[in-house]
Every structure is written in structure tokens, then in C-alpha cells.
């Protein structure tokens, strides 16, 4: 069957089966990063960076979310998000044969038209460096529908295995210590954007998760999207931060490596580096306020930016003065498929012919109390004529048990969206939804939701329908 004939029902079935895999006992979490370099590029996307977080279902099989972004060429802002499965076969001491398959969607940088669905298959070798670190080398085939990307690539990667310490019928445990919401002002030094017009300053909304590897040292992963100045701009980054305690506050320095683009911001191939300093002050035992200043620079374009960021951080595992230990907090990770039903002013062109956006969703829910939780949600298109359309949301939810194994929840979100010709104005969006969950087991559930999605200064005012599967996770 041609990938071009894949319908949303088929994608939903794939997600459903993946959810079943996520609900089985796992041994570890596999974090993998690498780059696919196209042998003969047919577009401005010359290579893709890969970031994968897989729940290890068996010793040699994992499944989870994957994120791909343009890293060289001249297509900064091409992002693709989806689900991936990885299978490994021991070959000899310290060497494994590997294969993987990815299905997702996205677009950006005017390189993808139409649906934006992406398929990637890979095969290669994995070499053991230490008990937790492997080096991978192989080849891959990537096809992005609605673009000319139909290429083979050479890939090189680094894999890290995180122990889950999971017992039977208990949630998967992941090393997340902090979850932040940030508002960022970016002042760009470039005089012109990709279209030759004056480059506007951007205001971004985003989130960040961190993992402590030392009382003063942490790893971070962040994602931000434009809410003014550049509809469709997005940046993601990973990095390290060092903290020094000064009385009740702390000061910190950080460095990051990531990818950015969209909104006509000329980030070249998309690879960006960053440096920053800041101060953090505890508002309560589990809440900090951070203020930071830094710079971001594109490695292959003339653009750099000054970054001023305010961040509110929820500390997941900090003990109070009266506690001698911390308590693990159950989170939920979910994957799903949703449809936005376009209203008359949905598209910037005013023409909705052939427009029926289907989005794949990934979300994390973090409980603040027995009924209230914080939620973060990322979406990219997989079908419906709006390639490159992406949504990032942060919100609050309220959950209540109805009867045994059934729960009802309500969520309200704010965030950023852009791309695909969808009229989201400057990019600031909001949504509300009602969701019913059926609990399959102590660590998984399925859900159905209906709601409304609206741009605050654009034409989008769409009804949404969503189906998803959730896996319960515990922090550390």
C-alpha cells in the first residue's frame, strides 16, 4: 500500500496499537539523538536531527515519541513529530543490529505542501560504549509527502539508557525534576527575514523540563513558539545548566544546542546555539520564579538574538524543611489523533477547499492536587492540506471520577500555533476541551475529547474531536 493512501483511521489504529505496547511492563527508557545526512538532497533540507524517547518494552524493543528537525541546508523551521518503534537484535559481543520505523507529520520553511505526513525507515549497527551509552551507525530512507523529500541518508547517533526501576503494576519512572512555563522576548539582530522584509522582534511562549544529575547541575529540554512577531516560528533546544546557591536564591549559567525557524525568520539550516545567565528565587516549596538573559545564534545564517526570559518552575521532587524524603508524583504521557473542523475564516487564503486538518498529539499531564493538573500539549499535522501547521499548548485541567474506571476532565489551554496557511494571526491561541477517560489498568487509559480551538487575533475558531491513549508515569 502506498503511504499516500494512508487515512486517519489507519494512523489511529497505529496509535492504538502503540498505546497497547506502552501499557506493558518496560525495563528502561531509551533516549536517542542523531542526524540523518541525505546522500543526494532534493530540497533545502540537507539533513534531519533526530530525538527519540522510547519506553523499552522488552530488552531489545522500544516504542515512543520522536522529533525530527532540519539541521543543515537552508530550511530552518522544518519540524516533524510522531511515533517510532525500534527493534534491536544482538549480533556479537557489544554489537547489535538495529531497525526502526517512524510515522508522523509536520513541515515548515515552505518545503512541504499538502498533508505533511512523514515516514522514515532505518537499519544499522549499534556499538556498546558503556553499560548505558551506545553509538549507532546506519542508513535510512525518508519520505515526506507534499515535498520532494524521497531520499536515502546516512545516520549517526548516540543512545543513552535510563533505568526505570519499575515494579509490576506500578507506573514507569522517569528522571524529570522540574517543569517550567516561560514567556520569552527575543530581539533579533538581523535586518531582514527570509522574505526580505524587516525582521520583527518575537515574543515566545514555551515550556521546559529538567533532570538533575548533581545538586548543582541539570540537563534541560525546552520548546517555544511565537505568540507575536512571527506566526509559525518555533525553537527547541537541549542543554546543561549549573546553579550556585546564594542564601534562598540561586544564580545559574547555561548553554544549549537546538533548532529553530519558521515565521520567515532566517535561521539558515536551523541549527542554533545559546548561552545564558539568570537568577532563580523560590516562591514556595514547589515553585520558583526565574529570570534570565542570554543569546542565541544560528550557525549558518546572519541571525542572532538576545533572549530575555521569565519562567515559572514547578519543582517536582524538592523536599520541604520538615521532610526527609521526596514523594514520587504520578504523571501521564499520552498520544492521540485529533481533527480540527475548519470554520469559514480558518485559512488565510479564505479558501477551505480540501482543508480537513488531522493532527497527531503528544501530551504530558502533571498533577498539582487530587483533581487539578497542569498539561502540556504538542501537535503537528499528518493529513488535511495544511503541511507545516503545528500547535503548542500549556494549560490547566480538572479531573473527577464518574463511576468505577471512568473519569471526566475539563481543560483550558493557551499557547502558540502557526504554519500551513492557517489564519492564527500572530500565533497566540487558546482552546478548551471536555474529555472522558476509561481506565484500562493501573498504568493506562483511553480517552475521547471534544472541544474548541481559537486564535486570539486570527480567523481560526474550530471545533475539535480527539482520541488518545495515556500511560501513567512517575517522576524518579
pLDDT digits (tens, 9 = 90+) for 4-62: 443 444 344 333 334 444 444 444 678 899 999 999 998 899 999 999 988 887 888 98
The model's pLDDT over 58-86, given as tens digits with 9 standing for 90+, comes to 888 988 889 999 999 998 888 998 889 99
Identical topology for domains 26-165 and 177-315 = yes
Q: What is the pLDDT of residue 446?
A: 93
Domain segments of the chain: what residues?
Answer: 26-165, 177-315, 330-475
CA atoms of 212 and 201, how far apart (whole Å): 33
CA atoms of 339 and 467, how far apart (whole Å): 9
* 177-315 CATH: 2.40.160.20
* 330-475 CATH: 2.40.160.20
Q: What is the pLDDT of residue 12?
A: 40
Lowest mean pLDDT among 74-78, 87-91, 288-292: 74-78
Residue 363 cell numbers, joined = 501530551
Residue 368 cell numbers, joined = 498539582
Which DSSP string corresponds to 31-48? EEEEEEEESS-SSSEEEE
Instruction: Give percent of the chain above pLDDT 90.
Output: 51
How far does Cα 401 stand from its chain's mean position?
Answer: 29
**29 Cβ contact list (under 8 Å, min separation 6):** 53, 54, 55, 56, 161, 162, 164, 172, 174
The model's pLDDT over 331-357, given as tens digits with 9 standing for 90+, comes to 788 888 999 999 999 999 999 998 999
- The domain defined by 26-165 folds into Porin (2.40.160)
CA atoms of 363 and 470, how far apart (whole Å): 9
Q: What is the pLDDT of residue 255?
A: 97
Amino acid at each position: 500500500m502506498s503511504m499516500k493512501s494512508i487515512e486517519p483511521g489507519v494512523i489511529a489504529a497505529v496509535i492504538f496499537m502503540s498505546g497497547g505496547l506502552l501499557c506493558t511492563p518496560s525495563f528502561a527508557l531509551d533516549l536517542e539523538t542523531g542526524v540523518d545526512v541525505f546522500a543526494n538532497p532534493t530540497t533545502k533540507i540537507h539533513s534531519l536531527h533526530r530525538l527519540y524517547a522510547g519506553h523499552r518494552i522488552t530488552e531489545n524493543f522500544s516504542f515512543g515519541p520522536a522529533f525530527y528537525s532540519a539541521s543543515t541546508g537552508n530550511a530552518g523551521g522544518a519540524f516533524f513529530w510522531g511515533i517510532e518503534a525500534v527493534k534491536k537484535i544482538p549480533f556479537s559481543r557489544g554489537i547489535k543490529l538495529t531497525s526502526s520505523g517512524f510515522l508522523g507529520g509536520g513541515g515548515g520553511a515552505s518545503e512541504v505542501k499538502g498533508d505533511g505526513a512523514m515516514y522514515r525507515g532505518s537499519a544499522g549497527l549499534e556499538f556498546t560504549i558503556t553499560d548505558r551509552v551506545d553509538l549507532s551507525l546506519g542508513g535510512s530512507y525518508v519520505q515526506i509527502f507534499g515535498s520532494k523529500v524521497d531520499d536515502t541518508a546516512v545516520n549517526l547517533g548516540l543512545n543513552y539508557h535510563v533505568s526505570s526501576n519499575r515494579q509490576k503494576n506500578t507506573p514507569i519512572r522517569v528522571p524529570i525534576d522540574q517543569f517550567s512555563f516561560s514567556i520569552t522576548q527575543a530581539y533579533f539582530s538581523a535586518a531582514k527575514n527570509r522574505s526580505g522584509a524587516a525582521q520583527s522582534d518575537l515574543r515566545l511562549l514555551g515550556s521546559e523540563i529538567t533532570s538533575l544529575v548533581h545538586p548543582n547541575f541539570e540537563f534541560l529540554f525546552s520548546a517555544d513558539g511565537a505568540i507575536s512577531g512571527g506566526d509559525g516560528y518555533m525553537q527547541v533546544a537541549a542543554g546543561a545548566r549549573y546553579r550556585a546557591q546564594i542564601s534562598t536564591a540561586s544564580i545559574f549559567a547555561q548553554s544549549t544546542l537546538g533548532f529553530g525557524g519558521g515565521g520567515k525568520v532566517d535561521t539558515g539550516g536551523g541549527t542554533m546555539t545559546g548561552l545564558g545567565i539568570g537568577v532563580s528565587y523560590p516562591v514556595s516549596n514547589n515553585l520558583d520564579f526565574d529570570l534570565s538573559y542570554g543569546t542565541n545564534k544560528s550557525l549558518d545564517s546572519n541571525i542572532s538574538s538576545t533572549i530575555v526570559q521569565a519562567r515559572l518552575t514547578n519543582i517536582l521532587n524538592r523536599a520541604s524543611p520538615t521532610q526527609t524524603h521526596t514523594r514520587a508524583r504520578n504523571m501521564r504521557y499520552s498520544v492521540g489523533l485529533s481533527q480540527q473542523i475548519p470554520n469559514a475564516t480558518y485559512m488565510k487564503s479564505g479558501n477551505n477547499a480540501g482543508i480537513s486538518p488531522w493532527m497527531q498529539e503528544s501530551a504530558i499531564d502533571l498533577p498539582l492536587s487530587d483533581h487539578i493538573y497542569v498539561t502540556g500539549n504538542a501537535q503537528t499535522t499528518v493529513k488535511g492540506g495544511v503541511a507545516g501547521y503545528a500547535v503548542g499548548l500549556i494549560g490547566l485541567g480538572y479531573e473527577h471520577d464518574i463511576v468505577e474506571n471512568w473519569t471526566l476532565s475539563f481543560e483550558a489551554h493557551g499557547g502558540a500555533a502557526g504554519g500551513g496557511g492557517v489564519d492564527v494571526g500572530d500565533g497566540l491561541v487558546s482552546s478548551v476541551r471536555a474529555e472522558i477517560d476509561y481506565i484500562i489498568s493501573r498504568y493506562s487509559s483511553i480517552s475521547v475529547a471534544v472541544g474548541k480551538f481559537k486564535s486570539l487575533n486570527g480567523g481560526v475558531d474550530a471545533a475539535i474531536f480527539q482520541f488518545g491513549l495515556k500511560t501513567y508515569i512517575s517522576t524518579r
